[in-house]
Amino acid sequence: MDVVSLGFRTDLMLRRLAGSSITDRGDHLVVRTLQNPHFYWGNFILVSAAAEDPSNAAQWRAAFAAAFPDAQHVAIGLDGTSTDAACLARYRAAGLTPDVSTVLAAGALQEPARPLPGADLRRLGTDADWREALELSHELDDRSPSEQLFTERLFTERRLAESRELVESGRAAWFAAFVDGRMRCSLGLCTDGGEVARYQSVVTHPQFRGRGLASWLVFEAGRYGLDVLGARTLVIVADPDYVAIRIYRALGFAAVEHQTQFQHPA
């Protein structure tokens, strides 16, 4: 199956790097991440843009159920660069929630206009760094630890363990901004050695948003990707209605497509 979407091509690159299995069924792909079954977008199907009827929600729900008979969730991606309103409506009618993201790309980045606030930017490397990264991930959830589901915390821990494995194998670099010695913003940049590098998991502590930390971290990571990793194109995926997309545009990213995913949570 030939994948059209840059967003999904880089998603699949990340899954391959992480050791997921990808099975080509002709009109769709089945992606499995056995080490993290609670990761929806590590365990999903991707419907080909060339399939006979990509908008047939019932058909693709059945295909997902056949591929993941024990799954409690449903996760279906539609290949392509855009999706029309009628297609979205069909999936909604089938009980699935659409998530349409903007895929942005850049071949060079502009330095942030605001000065860097008092922060130390560096790549993660030590056990202590990764423990702080896990703490930051947990702090993004405004519920108390007792209210957070065990499966959600396990998912977070396994995702971060996957990220660390990619870094230690040389397939990714993880960056963080530290304020007064505490990690307040982090992100990853991954590549398979080709011309494209994909950002992952851009997160900022809620009390430190709006200070320019993410702008500088995206910029520094991008410069590393272009100068050290040898990438020619940087790719980042964003919610079109969230403030972060304005940050990425100000750095020189431009929208190249829309990526469409549907899910039904467990």
Calculate Rg over the CA atoms of the chain: 19
The residue assigned the tokens 């505490």 is 182
| Class of the CATH-defined domain 120-231 | alpha beta
The stretch 143-158 carries a mean pLDDT of 64
Model confidence at 150, pLDDT cuts 50, 70, 90, reads: low
Domain boundaries, the chain: 6-102, 120-231
The H or E element spanning position 66 is helix 57-67
Q: Phi and psi (nearest 5°) for 161?
A: -65, -40
Give the span between the Cα atoms of 160 and 183, in whole angstroms: 15
pTM of the model: 0.94
Interacting residues of 22 by C-beta distance below 8 A, sequence separation 6+: 12, 15, 16, 29, 30, 31, 32
CA 151 to chain centre: 19
How many C-beta atoms lie closer than 10 Å to residue 36's C-beta?
19
Model confidence at 248, pLDDT cuts 50, 70, 90, reads: very high
Mean pLDDT for the chain overall: 93
The stretch 177-194 carries a mean pLDDT of 96
The stretch 31-35 carries a mean pLDDT of 95
pLDDT at 144 over 60: no
Q: Positive or negative CA dihedral for 189, 237, 137, 206?
A: positive
pLDDT, residue 142, reads 56
The stretch 20-41 carries a mean pLDDT of 95
Q: Phi and psi (nearest 5°) for 124?
A: -80, 145
pLDDT, residue 50, reads 95
The residue assigned the tokens 């590098």 is 197
